[in-house]
Structure 1
Amino acid sequence: MSAIPTRETGLGPGELLQLLRDGQPRTRAELARITGMARSTVSLRVDALLASGLLAPSGEAASTGGRPPARFAFNPQARVVVGADIGATHANVALTDLRGRVLSEAAERLDVTDGPVPVLDRVIATIGRLLGAAGRGVRDLAGIGIGLPGPVEHSSGRPRRPPIMPGWDGFDVPGHVRRHWDVPVLVDNDVNIMALGEHVTAHADLDHVLFVKVATGIGAGIISGRQLLRGAVGAAGDLGHVAAPNAAGVRCACGNTGCLEAVASGRAIIRQLSAAGVPVATNSDVVALVNGGNIEAAHAVRQAGRTIGEVLAMCVSMLNPELVVIGGSLAGAGESLIAGVREVVYGRSLPLATGHLQIVPATTGFQAGVIGAATMVVQDVLAAERVERGLLSSG
């Protein structure tokens, strides 16, 4: 490839690719009509994208005389992406295409307190197995996305004082992974990637979505204008450590007192039920008791929902989302949790903000994290400027 056309002569090839990512096959003539560029300029861009594999032939258009013109479409199979969702006691790893569609996946039991090197090496080995089983190598790997169960400085991919991750503070997660797989590695906290996964899978038509994870901890992911909001240093959505009503003096795992997480998380519910003599040890136990009709468990979960609703009511008034999605392991308790949230949010938030607001359980389940982590990578590597840099470097 001798030359890659630039924006000086219209849309660059990376921008042209954005038009084609909807999957609709188009001819060169159709692209010239849509973009207003000369047919020869469009052909240069199409040829560059075909050579990269990001476009592929997709049949022929109807002929108006002579040879039928060829159609081209985005090729999501051109590369694969890894999405990894690391939790306190597990890691889910998936191989996806460039649309974020899961091709294969694996789950590993692990303990995040073992430290970054042992945990990440387990994930790295799992990536190798998935790639090998799919017949793909590092040249096919577009990038790796990782979600971690704690605060992450997204710009560097380093955890920052994560409460349940001893030894991880400041660790160079991308650097360690790139020593094994020399590809882009992006890292974010687990709630952000779950928000991305739920949005692109189930609510891609909505612009403003607030995703709330209720599990061992509590956190939120904010989608605004169809973009994930991370804030100045990646701390946006740290809902679990907002001061909760009637929680003064209750100590939180973060070292502070009065946090929402200290009184309404899975850990807090387990503590309350255990003190009342209800045999429960895990979030799964809580969900099973609620779904089995246990009155004490149902009451505790509903009260947790109300407390979460007190904080969410402020968020709804400030952010004005179209949808609030409740996910995480305790979302399996169904209406007991959701009803408590709705009761307070609809009663406390401004009518203008709640007039069309829906509060619903998550639908993507355990795949939300891996799909979101992969989506994070896809959004980065298929950005127009990144595509054009890749074409230039290979030209």
Structure 2
Amino acid sequence: MPRPVTRPCTTGDVLRLIREDGVATRADLGRVTGLSRPAVASRVADLIARGLVVERADGPSTGGRPPARLAFNAAGGTVLVANLGQSRGQLAVCDLAGRVLARSDAPPADVTAGKTLPRLLDQWSDLLAGSGIDPASIRGVGLGVPDAVEHVAGRWDRVEVSPPVLERFGVPAHLDNEVNTAALGEHQAHPGVQDLLFVKVSTGIGAGVIAGGAIQRGALGAAGEIGHVPVPAAGDAPCRCGNTGCVEAVAGGTALLARSSAADLPALAAMARAGDPATVALLREAGRRIGEVVATAVNLLNPAVVVLGGDLVGADEPLIAGLREVVYQRSTVLATRSLRIEPSRLGESAGLTGCAAMVLANVLSPEAVDAL
């Protein structure tokens, strides 16, 4: 059912009704908005002229000429997206529905934003040239990075990301932490779910929180950092945060280092898939330790779904089993009554999907469309 419009209805509002609520005729737009026929016609004509809406003469006929059906035009532009992790990255060009048109792997984020951004701009330019996509079609840029960021200000490591993007492509840039972008992507893959907790196990342990259908970033954008949880195992090497016995060390395979000094998460995943008993036991124990924190989050946030993602996707059954064990023990009966704990549905694509969702929510918002 279309959401009511409680203020004078702008062209951006009309696009939202067509794009998100499926209002498909001028007559229906008039009924929903209260606008006159000329006002509706003017707004629709503006959207068609800007390539954001198309019309087709395939509506149901009631005896006369069938009404023209209006539809959002996903081919009316593109967005550039990139999701950069500590160990690897991906970048893509997407249409206005978030579908990937061209994609390539990318190096991980460099040690500073100042070093990463120029390289990333060149990689996007190369991807556009290689795929034959017109740079003039770009309407916005979305970027996920492996650090806490100032989302509203668009600053990463005290560097504003929009100025170099504007200089190169002439469009705004939107920035978030890579775990938040993955959470946004998984939210897209769980239609109808309004409350979701995404937990990423990689070189760190991070979480993204979707509550009431929206990402929750906290006061300064630092929400979701759950990696630093002490565990009872003695002698663990310190993780990057400097704390001995961090969950990051357990999930990263520190206990396995006694047998193989070259162990890392991909190696750990391969050994788990091969059924190595020690590795399976390690991952299950790591899942229990992560579950200690997730159980608290479940009690606090009451998500409908907990999604586990990261570098162990495809070999995460023992990790999820350990996590489920502790969460169902330590969370309230009501909070877990219908709770689902499951692996990522999108895998490595979650971050790109979330970056696209983030930038499209901004560049196609009523305010942004009206500003055109």
Partner residue of 2:160?
172
* Partner in structure 2 of residue 225 of structure 1: 212
Report deviation, 1:111.
Answer: 6.1
Aligned equivalents of 1:260, 1:156: Cα separation in 2: 31
In structure 1, the residue matched to 2:333 is 351
Which residue, out of 11, 33, 38, partners 2:31?
33
SS in 2 for 1:180: helix
Q: 1:284 to 1:257 in 2, by over 3 A?
A: closer
Greater shift in the superposed pair: 58-67 or 203-212:
58-67
Shifted more, 82-91 versus 99-108: the winner is 82-91
Alignment of 1:1-395 (within 5 A): 10-22=8-20, 24=22, 26-64=24-62, 66-110=64-108, 112-113=110-111, 115-159=112-156, 169-200=157-188, 202-241=189-228, 243-246=229-232, 251-256=238-243, 259-261=246-248, 263-266=249-252, 269=253, 271-275=254-258, 277-278=259-260, 280-390=262-372
Q: Which amino acid aligns with 1:105?
A: R
The 3 A distance-change label for structure 1 pair 153 and 259 is: farther
Paired letter, 1:240: G
Q: What displacement does 1:83 show?
A: 1.2
- Measure, in 2, the Cα distance between the counterparts of 1:9 and 1:315: 37
Q: Conserved in 1, the CA contact under 8 Å of 2:109 and 2:145?
A: no
TM-score of the aligned structures, taking structure 1 as reference length: 0.87
Contact kept in structure 1, 2:91 and 2:124, CA below 8 Å: yes
Shift of 1:94: 0.8
Does the CA contact (< 8 Å) of 1:264 and 1:305 recur in 2? Answer: no
Does structure 2 conserve the Cα–Cα contact (< 8 Å) formed by 1:209 and 1:321?
yes
- Is the contact between residue 186 and residue 376 of structure 1 (CA under 8 Å) also seen in structure 2? yes
Give how far 1:170 is off: 1.7
Return the alpha-carbon distance in structure 2 between the equivalents of residues 74 and 29 of structure 1: 17
Q: For the structure 1 residues 207 and 110, does the alpha-carbon distance in structure 2 shift closer, same or farther, using more than 3 Å as the test? A: closer
Q: Equivalents in 2 of 1:248, 1:181: separation in Å? A: 52
User: Residue deviations 1:7-33, cap 9 Å, x none?
Assistant: 998311111111111484722112222
Partner of 1:166: none
Secondary structure at the residue paired with 2:169?
A: coil
Q: Please report how far the alpha carbon of residue 342 of structure 1 lies from its aligned counterpart in structure 2 after TM superposition.
A: 0.1
Q: Which amino acid aligns with 1:82?
A: L
In 1, Cα distance between equivalents of 2:6 and 2:106: 49
Paired residues of 1:209 and 1:322 also in contact (CA < 8 A): yes
Deviates more, 1:23-32 or 1:190-199: 23-32
Give 1:246 shift: 2.8
Shift in Å at residue 69 of structure 1? 2.6
Please list the CA deviations of residues 28-84 of structure 1 after superposition, one character each: whole Å capped at 9, or x if unmatched.
112222333322221111111111111111233244455433221111111101110
CA separation of 1:64 and 1:330: change in aligned 2, threshold 3 A = closer
Structure 1: distance between partners of 2:346 and 2:303: 19
Compare 361-370 and 24-33 and name the one that shifted more.
24-33
State how far apart, in whole Å, the 1-side matches of 2:145 and 2:273 are.
29
SS at match of 2:57: strand
Structure 2 unmatched runs, 5+: none
- 2:346 partner SS: coil
Post-superposition Cα deviations, 1:181-201, rounded to whole Å, max 9, x if no partner, equal: 22111111110000111111x
Tell me which moved more, 101-110 or 366-375: 101-110
Asked if the contact 1:83/1:372 (under 8 Å) is kept, the reply is: no
Distance (whole Å) between structure 1 residues aligned to residue 109 and residue 79 of structure 2: 25
| Distance in 2 of aligned mates of 1:244 and 1:350 | 23
Using the TM superposition, give the Cα deviation of residue 370 of structure 1 relative to its aligned residue in structure 2, in angstroms.
1.0
CA distance in 2, matches of 1:48, 1:157: 30
**Identical-residue share of aligned pairs (%):** 43
Q: What is the alpha-carbon distance in structure 2 between the residues aligned to residue 348 and residue 383 of structure 1?
A: 41
User: After superposition, what is the alpha-carbon deviation per residue over 1:119-162, rounded to whole angstroms, capped at 9, x for unaligned?
Assistant: 32332122112222443333311111111111111122223xxx
Q: Whole-Å Cα distance in 2 between the matches of residues 177 and 247 of structure 1?
A: 47
- In structure 1, the gaps of 5 or more residues are 1-6, 160-168, 391-395
Structure 2 residue matching 1:311: 3-state secondary structure? helix
Query: Secondary structure of the residue that 2:313 maps to in structure 1?
Result: helix
Q: CA deviation at 1:256?
A: 4.5
Q: What amino acid is aligned across from residue 179 of structure 1 in structure 2?
A: E
Q: SS where residue 359 of structure 1 aligns? A: strand
Residues 244 and 29 from structure 1, CA distance in 2 versus in 1: closer, same or farther, beyond 3 angstroms? same
How many residues are treated as equivalent by the alignment?
Answer: 367
